[in-house]
Amino acid sequence: MVMKQTGAESWRGLYPFKSNYLYLPAEGQRLHYVDEGPAPGAPQGEPILCVHGNPTWSFFYRALVQHFKDKHRVVVPDHLGMGLSDKPQDYDYTLENHIFNLETLVDKLGLPPFTLVVHDWGGPIGLGYAVRHPERIKRVMIMNTAAFRSKRMPWTIRLARVPFLGALLVRGFNAFVRGALRVCASNPLSPAVRAGYLAPYDSWAHRVAVLRFVCDVPLSPSHPSYKTLVEVEQGLLRLSRAPKMLVWGAQDHVFGRDFLARWQSIYPDAEARSIETANHYLLEDAPQVVIQALEELLER
């Protein structure tokens, strides 16, 4: 897939990672992932697996990859339909399928027990994997996400779910990606960073999964992904023994302080770190704070 470069600078300079691809067995589609680590023969810390949300992609984790790759193997997949992965138009973009794709990747790579980092939709996907394979999880960092049922949904996201209108806004005008760049970071993003987030979603066809992710948020038992989300929620206590860090962008209007409080009720022993100056894209607003928190978690 060829993507146009836009912005005052090329975003590629911010994302100097080799592209790797996994061919998914059932669909034959390519799942893109970053897999960076120490040179052969150098000491290696335990692996780190980072799972992104919507409408971001592995570009969101670039600062973590750059910082930790000299000591740890850092793996960051792009969900099917997102980032540099293939974007099939007729794929069933459900929570269950995204969890399965992550399982397939971890199995293919043969990762030993690892530290899991999740954000946004990466929460139910990454933790969906974790509750099914708790023996594979050494530590967990949770950032501005939910992996449990909630009736709360901002009107902007509800608008994107309206039939026909949502497709026009999200796929036609790219309003979801562009809107996120305006409201999900407290500090203005550089042209190169904006270009990086926009690059994979440069056409109607390439925005298919952005819309499907929005529509896959289950609010009622009749939703196709509701049962899967309930299973993830009910399995969260299987991870009770793994050290955890809750790192929160306090200015987030989607996953606000009430979501952080809910996580603290689920994992009362987890350390919580609220970044008062950071928004939903906390790795843009406060990357060094997040990196420091992950370093501390890895020492446990």
pTM above 0.85, yes or no: yes
Give the residue carrying structure tokens 């550089």.
190
62 and 53 Cβ atoms separated by less than 8 Å: no
What pLDDT sits at residue 9? 54
Which strands, in side-by-side order, build the sheet including 244-249? 20-23, 30-36, 72-77, 45-51, 114-119, 137-143, 244-249, 271-275
Residue 139 lies in a domain: yes
124 and 45 Cβ atoms separated by less than 8 Å: no
Closest CA to 141 of 283, 271, 275, 276: 271
| Alpha helix stretches (DSSP H) within the chain | 62-68, 95-109, 122-132, 155-160, 165-167, 175-183, 191-198, 208-215, 226-235, 257-266, 282-285, 287-298
152 and 177 Cβ atoms separated by less than 8 Å: no
Strand pairing partners for 26? Answer: none
Give the residue carrying structure tokens 């030993």.
112
Residue 180 lies in a domain: no
Residue 176 lies in a domain: no
Q: Which of 15-29, 137-151, 240-254 has the lowest mean pLDDT?
A: 15-29
Indicate the residue type of 66: Q
CA 284/CA 290 separation, integer angstroms: 10
What pLDDT sits at residue 39? 87
Q: Summarize the confidence of residues 210-218 as an average pLDDT.
A: 96
Residue 274 lies in a domain: yes
What pLDDT sits at residue 219? 92
What is the number of alpha carbons within 13 Å of residue 287 lying toward its C-beta?
12
Residue 8 lies in a domain: no
Q: To which H or E segment does residue 2 belong?
A: none
Question: pLDDT tens across 193-203, in order?
Answer: 999 999 999 99
Q: Tokens representing 129?
A: 């994997």
What pLDDT sits at residue 6? 46
Residue 62 lies in a domain: yes
Q: To which H or E segment does residue 48 belong?
A: strand 45-51
Question: pLDDT tens across 37-56, in order?
Answer: 998 888 888 999 999 999 99
Closest CA to 288 of 299, 273, 268: 273
Is residue 4 scored above 80 in pLDDT? no
Closest CA to 35 of 143, 142, 114: 114
Indicate the residue type of 219: L
- The answer, yes or no, to whether the previous bond of 55 is cis (omega within 30 of 0) is yes
| CATH code for the domain in which residue 233 is found | 3.40.50.1820
Residue 211 lies in a domain: no
Q: Summarize the confidence of residues 187-196 as an average pLDDT.
A: 96
Is residue 248 scored above 90 in pLDDT? yes
Residue 86 lies in a domain: yes
Indicate the residue type of 93: Y
Q: How many domains is the chain partitioned into structurally?
A: 1
CA 50/CA 102 separation, integer angstroms: 11
Closest CA to 147 of 180, 183, 192, 116: 116
Please report, to the nearest 10 degrees, the dihedral formed by the alpha carbons of residues 77, 289, 142, 85 taken in order: -10
CA 37/CA 74 separation, integer angstroms: 6
94 lies in which domain range?
Answer: 17-152+225-298
